[in-house]
Amino acid sequence: MYILIVGAGKVGWNLARELVEKENEVIAIESSRRRYEVVEEELEHSIQYGDGTELWVLERAGIERADLVIAVTGDDEDNILICQMAREKYGVERVVARCNNPRNLQHFELLGVKPAISATDLILRLIEHEVPKYGLVHLLDLKEERLEIIEMEVEEGSHADGVQVADLGLPDGSLVISILRDGGGFVPKGDSVVRAGDEVLLVLDIGLEDSVTGRFSGIAPAASADVG
Amino acid sequence: MGSAIAKSMLVEGHEVSVLDENPEAIALLNRGQDRSWEDLGGSFTVGTALEIDALLAAGIGQADAFVASTDGDNTNLVIAQIAKRRFNVERVVVRVLDPGRARWYAEQGLQTVCPTQTAIELLEAAVRGQVPFEGVSG
């Protein structure tokens, strides 16, 4: 594959190195003379000096025959223009743009530049995945025994809403130890029905949290595949 | 360039709103006037061109015409397309110094103005003796 990378900063340089190793033909374009000289020591003929938003610079790098153009400069306007021209002027089929400021993602979208990847946005989304958002409270962590006791609210429309404890489908190593409802609480039996608005206390083996929490949350457990 | 257009449009009686990321830019609008830009009825908003909130605050929603004349070609080309496609501004004019990009985006339907190209043409005409010399100018 012939790949053109505009911007040889940290992202561009590392991408170029990896893609060369995977036996692609790669040209990187860098507009800072000093940066170009540093990177050129390693990439040699795979880097060219110039402003990658100028048509003649793109043409000198052979953009017409590129299979993929990657715009990873530190400037969102530049990345938008490079990808727009790559696709619409030079007929490049695949482009990838870096979006530095996630607020600018809407502009990439409006001008048909996709995929646009924002590291900030990706990290934010990962945080949302990693940090439990189900109103979960850790009541007790028994590290040595590798057990924990958590409290969760049963949300409307969740898997658990209206279901008997025995049918919750909880994994082995987890147990509902009490249900708090209407200001009181009780220790449930297998046929006790869980309702939206209940607070349930569970004891579980450490590491089971993810497979348990989703059953009480109204939001379907997020699949990791929807990132990017 | 932007401030010159803004001033002459205001004198002609248009409502003019200027957006600039530099708060000091208002000095350019005040220069050479007996009253301040805002006293004369112009508006001035501080913000960057890609901030939708700043564009809205500057009144892009009501604009009949939009001029993109920051000192960055790429910023101008992106912001002009936003004005056109997102805010449906009827007349959008873009300053692009690079003749190559100016030509291509003009072919795509953007009204680009390329000062470099204009200067080249003027110089060429002057060299050929096609421009009468009328003493010191500029």
Residue-wise DSSP of B87-111: T--SEEEEE-S-HHHHHHHHHTT-E
Check CB contact under 8 Å for B50 and A85: no
Fold of A137-218: Alpha-Beta Plaits (3.30.70)
> What residue in B sits closest to A78 (Cα-Cα)?
B74
CA distance B74 to chain A (A): 6
As a whole number, mean pLDDT of residues A166-187 equals 91
**Strand positions, DSSP E, A58-126:** 68-71, 94-98, 116-117
- Contact by Cβ (8 Å): A155, A217: yes
CB contact residues (below 8 A), chain A span 49-68, against chain B: 53-56
As a whole number, mean pLDDT of residues A143-162 equals 87
Check CB contact under 8 Å for B98 and A75: no
Q: Which two structure tokens, joined as six digits, stand for A209?
A: 């949290």
CATH number for the domain whose boundaries are A2-126: 3.40.50.720
A contacts of B81 (beta carbons < 8 Å): 110-111
B contacts of A80 (beta carbons < 8 Å): 74, 78
pLDDT tens digits, residue range B106-117? 999 999 999 999
Q: Which two structure tokens, joined as six digits, stand for A35?
A: 């940066």
B contacts of A54 (beta carbons < 8 Å): 98, 100-101
CA distance B60 to chain A (A): 16
- Contact by Cβ (8 Å): A209, A181: no
**Cα(A45)–Cα(A187) distance, integer angstroms:** 72
The confidence score (pLDDT) of residue B134 equals 76
Check CB contact under 8 Å for A103 and B51: yes
Q: Domains in chain B, start-ordered, CATH in brackets?
A: 2-127 (3.40.50.720)
CA proximity to A138, closest of A66, A209, A191, A47: A209
Q: What average pLDDT does the structure give for chain A?
A: 88
| Residue A96, beta-bridge partner list | A70
The torsion defined by the Cα of B1, B2, B4 and B10, in degrees rounded to 10, comes to 170
> What residue in A sits closest to B104 (Cα-Cα)?
A89
Nearest by CB to A55, from B50, B82, B100: name it.
B100
The more confident residue out of A1 and B49 is: A1
The confidence score (pLDDT) of residue A206 equals 87
Give me the interface pTM, i.e. the ipTM: 0.88
**Cα(B90)–Cα(B115) distance, integer angstroms:** 23
As a whole number, mean pLDDT of residues A30-40 equals 96
> What residue in A sits closest to B87 (Cα-Cα)?
A110
B contacts of A77 (beta carbons < 8 Å): 50, 72, 74-75, 77-78
Q: Helix (H, G, I), strand (E, B), or coil: what is residue A156?
A: coil
The confidence score (pLDDT) of residue B84 equals 96
B contacts of A78 (beta carbons < 8 Å): 74
Record the pTM: 0.71
**Cα(B71)–Cα(B96) distance, integer angstroms:** 9
Check CB contact under 8 Å for A80 and B78: yes
As a whole number, mean pLDDT of residues A165-192 equals 92
In percent, the amount of chain A with pLDDT more than 90 equals 66
Question: B70: which residues sit within 8 A by CB, 6+ positions away?
Answer: B2, B49, B76, B79, B95
Nearest by CB to B82, from A75, A81, A110: name it.
A110
B contacts of A101 (beta carbons < 8 Å): 50
Residue ranges of the alpha helices (H) in A103-201? 105-110, 119-130
Check CB contact under 8 Å for B77 and A77: yes
Please, where in chain A does CATH 3.30.70.1450 lie?
137-218
- Contact by Cβ (8 Å): A156, A180: no
CA distance A149 to chain B (A): 46
**Between the CA of residue A162 and those of A67, A194, A216, B121, what are the distances in Å?**
54, 5, 11, 79
Please, where in chain A does CATH 3.40.50.720 lie?
2-126
The terminus-to-terminus CA distance of chain A in angstroms comes to 22
CB atoms within 10 A of CB B107: 10
Q: Which two structure tokens, joined as six digits, stand for A29?
A: 């374009």
B contacts of A106 (beta carbons < 8 Å): 52
To 10 degrees, what angle do helices B73-85 and B99-107 make?
Answer: 10
pLDDT tens digits, residue range A45-62? 999 999 999 999 999 999
